[in-house]
Structure 1
Amino acid sequence: MLNNGRQDGPPDLDELWRDFRRKLGGIFGGGGGGGSQPPGGGSPNFEPDMKSAGVGVGLIAGVVALIWAGSGVFIVQEGEQSVITTFGSYSRTVDAGLQWRLPYPIQQHETVKVTQLRSVDVGRQSVAASTGLRDSSMLTQDENIVDIRFTVQYTLKDARAFLFENRGTDDAVSQASESAVREIVGRSKVDSVLYERRDAIAADLVKSIQAQLDKLNAGVTIKNVNLKNVEVPEQVQAAFDDAFKAGADRDRYKNEGQAYASDVIPKAQGTAARLAEEAQGYKSRVVARAEGDAQRFLSVYAEYQKAPGVMRDRLYIDTMREIYNNVTKVMVDSRSGSNLLYLPLDKIMQQAGQGSVGGASAPTAPTAPVAAPAASAEPAAADPRAREGREGLRSRDRDSR
């Protein structure tokens, strides 16, 4: 397509190349900017001066220097640390973020992941031909053999120590773990290793391995020790199982005995305390009653000394009242008229009680008649001389007592 004698469209490669050469000639002071073209489309005369050439070289050198300086920019990701070395010697450690160092070959950097959880398996399953035991077998304090295999998990805490202080960190962790486990098992008994202190042994391993690696300045932190296999050799496994069951039965019986003792002893102690309190109460009651009786006797004796006759009569009457309160038979003696009456009052009272309970439908019959007639009793009771004789007999009887 033509537009005012010009062709509309992208420029061809020859035209681009000619424009580039004209600009380059202008930079170096040549006459390519407005010089005439030789016949046949050849290049213009290129005559650079030294000043323009120096400026061009400087610009190129500056661009190269900027590119070289920019090669020292690097990024450290989260959870990583980068160690910068100067001609192979440690310079500094940088954390996560955009960092810069002097470009190669002056300085270099190496990045390691410090938060990554690394693991090392300790305890090989290979069997030694001379002993027939695994390499993970070791001797306990009571001269028994146990087989222990476990995994050590750790992270990095110092990138510089990890890179420069040890040639192989995994090997250092493995050797420190083997040394620690043999030390701990060597001072423990087989029952403690197998059953009683299994979790405690894992915690002791963490502390022991960390202490040895700190001495080596390995730059790692032990996070956890997982015991995968703790057992005795297969030749004695059945015997150890029987011994473990016997120990479990022993503990069970012991716990049952302690439970029974905890139930019986408090009851016995409570019974003993109750009996002691009852005995103390009985003692206090008897002593108080005896002291009260003694005080009452002393008070009565004092009154008796003031009026002996009156006190004798009073004591006699009180004693007779107490005795006759519990007697169901009453005897009436009449010496003057020689009339002796026996009344079966106990039967009468019993029948009266039954009648009150059973009602009027149960008639009562007298069990025994009255021994003396009422006619003979009335004159005797009405005779004044008989009354005087009875009173004289009672007074003489009291005086004789």
Structure 2
Amino acid sequence: MAWNEPGGNNKDPWGGGNRNDGGPPDLDELLRKLQQKLNGLFGGGSGSGGAAGGSGKFPWSLVLVVVAVLYGLLGFYQVNANESAVVLRLGKYHNTQTAGLHWNPPLIDHVTKVNMTEVRTERTTGQMLTEDASIVDVVLQVQWHIDDAESYVLRVRDPLKSLQGATDSALRHVVGSTTLNGVISQDRTRVSADTQKRLQEYMDMYQTGIRIDVVNLTDAKAPREVQDAFDDVTKAREDEVRLQNEAQAYANQVIPVARGQAQRIIEEAEGYKSRVVESARGEAARFDQLLAAYQQAPNVTRERLYLDAVQQIMTNTSKVMVDVKDGSNMMYLPLDKLGVGSSSQVMQRKDVSPEVVDEVYQRITDRLRTESAKNRRSQNVR
């Protein structure tokens, strides 16, 4: 039942004792009791005298000390090795803290931590117009990290949105100055490099504090409506490249062989030239020596030259015609037949020695030479 209803014995829940008037509790009394409880908690004096006389004092100094300790503890913060902390004091840039334990007054300084080593990725897609008035679908990925924490936090309102807009602008500028075939196949590396360079210039100009690490042109293709025709063109270009490579391989195979043959012919010609020149020089030297010998002994030299010429001619012929002196008949000597017969007879007659054959041959030669000398002397006498 309620404390002020009949039978409730007028028990006051506020601790005011029995009240006969049934009125509201005394606020001053409640405050005094609360002060007494706080004094008991913090070691202050309590008792009936303090409650009655109201002479107890609240320990505000202790409360201030506790608040100061809590305020100081709340001001400590840790900056990791991969982070930087931008400190604003009363809304104005104060400094940038590096890794370690730091303290800043709460409610006065505002600290913003930024991860400086995390590599982030942004992706952009779209249809763009090339230099040759063709449309191409492009997919580009940009990897970046924060290079300047102060600029990233304070210089730009939304660095990510600025990065996306600058990426689209840089990519459209580079694609607009490249042909369709270059964007899709031949110049993809150059497109990525030029886009990265231009995008970094934009980031530096906007003072975003962003450093572009890598720009990858992951995909570039013609629109779906003309994809079939473009595939045919691509196949034709691939065939062209393949045929060029085959022709180059054939040329690489044939040209060295031709060069080797040409070099061999040149070396043979040089050898023939050297041989002919040296032979001519030898013949000239031999002629000079013969001339000197002829000037000393003309008859002997003439005879020797004649015999050498006859020997050379006789060596290269198998038939000899001999003019018989004082006769009208000419003797025909088939040396090839005689040689065969002589060799066969020699082979048949084993009792004839090679020394006998040489002796006979020497006698015949001397006889021919003697007769030839007599003929020449008789002609001279006439």
Q: Tell me if both proteins adopt one fold, taking TM over 0.5 as the criterion.
A: yes
Runs (5+) with no aligned partner, structure 1: 1-19, 33-42, 124-135, 365-380
Aligned to 1:370: none
State the 1:186 CA deviation: 0.8
Output one character per residue of 1:34-75: Cα deviation in whole Å (capped at 9) or x when no partner: xxxxxxxxx34239xxxx969x54344223222222221112
Q: Does 1:173 align with 2:173?
A: no
> How many angstroms apart in 1 are the aligned matches of 2:257 and 2:118?
62
Q: Which amino acid is the alignment partner of residue 75 of structure 1?
A: Q
* Residue in structure 2 matched with residue 259 of structure 1 by the alignment: 249
**Which of residues 109, 112, 122 in structure 1 aligns to 2:111?**
109
With over 3 angstroms needed to count, the CA separation of the structure-2 counterparts of 1:335 and 1:351, relative to structure 1, is closer
Residues 346, 217 of structure 1: alpha-carbon distance in 2 compared, 3 angstrom cutoff: same
Q: CA deviation at 1:354?
A: 7.2
Equivalent in 300, 312, 326 of residue 290 of structure 2: 300
Q: Who is 1:213 aligned against?
A: 203
Q: Give CA deviations for 1:292-318 in whole Å, capped at 9, x if unaligned.
A: 323323332333233322223222333
TM-score for the superposition, normalised by structure 2: 0.72
Q: 1:147 to 1:392 in 2, by over 3 A?
A: closer
For the Cα contact (< 8 Å) 1:334–1:390, is it kept in 2?
Answer: no
* Aligned-residue offset at 1:212: 0.3
The equivalent residue for 2:188 is 198
Letter matched to residue 95 of structure 2: R
Secondary structure class of the residue paired with 2:50: coil
Correspondence for 1:58 among 54, 57, 61: 61
Q: Tell me what 1:85 maps to.
A: 88
Cα distance in 1 for residues equivalent to 2:180 and 2:244:
22
After superposition, give the CA deviation of every residue in 1:87-114 in whole Å (9 maximum; x if it has no partner): 222212212321100122x222222333
CA distance in 2, matches of 1:197, 1:392: 98
SS in 2 for 1:195: helix
The aligned amino acid for 2:49 is: N
1:45 pairs with 28, 41, 49, which one? 49
Following TM superposition, by how much is the alpha carbon of 1:319 offset from its aligned partner in structure 2, in angstroms?
2.7
In the alignment, residue 73 of structure 1 is paired with which amino acid?
Answer: F
Question: Per-residue deviation at 1:192?
Answer: 0.5
**Offset at 1:327?**
5.0
Residue in structure 2 matched with residue 163 of structure 1 by the alignment:
153
Structure 1's 66 and 310: CA in aligned 2 closer, same or farther, altered over 3 A?
A: same
Contact 1:335 1:390 in 2 (8 A): no
Residues 81 and 93, structure 1, Cα contact 8 Å, conserved in 2? yes
Cα 1:229–1:345 change in 2 (3 A) is closer
Paired residue for 1:367? none
Shift of 1:200: 2.5
Unaligned regions of 5+ residues in structure 2, if any? 1-35, 350-362
Conserved in 2, the CA contact under 8 Å of 1:25 and 1:46? no
Q: CA deviation at 1:279?
A: 2.4
Counterpart-to-counterpart distance in 2, 1:73 and 1:355:
134
Contact 1:206 1:222 in 2 (8 A): yes
Contact 1:78/1:96 (CA < 8 Å) preserved in 2?
yes
Which residue is 1:15 aligned to?
none
TM norm structure 1: 0.69
CA change 1:255–1:390 in 2 (3 A) is closer
Q: Paired residue for 2:375?
A: 394
Matched to 2:109, the amino acid is: Q
Alpha-carbon distance between aligned partners in 1 of 2:286 and 2:220, rounded to the nearest angstrom: 87
Match among 103, 127, 145 for residue 100 of structure 1: 103
The alignment partner of 2:49 has SS state of: coil
Quick one: which amino acid aligns to residue 377 of structure 2? R
How far the C-alpha of 1:337 sits from its partner, in A, is 12
| 1:137 aligns to 2:127 (yes or no) | yes
Change beyond 3 A, Cα 1:57–1:353:
farther
Residue 127 of structure 1 is matched in structure 2 by none
- What residue identity is the alignment partner of 2:131? Q
Change (3 A) 1:170 1:351: farther
Partner secondary structure for residue 212 of structure 2: strand
**One-letter code aligned to 1:157:** D
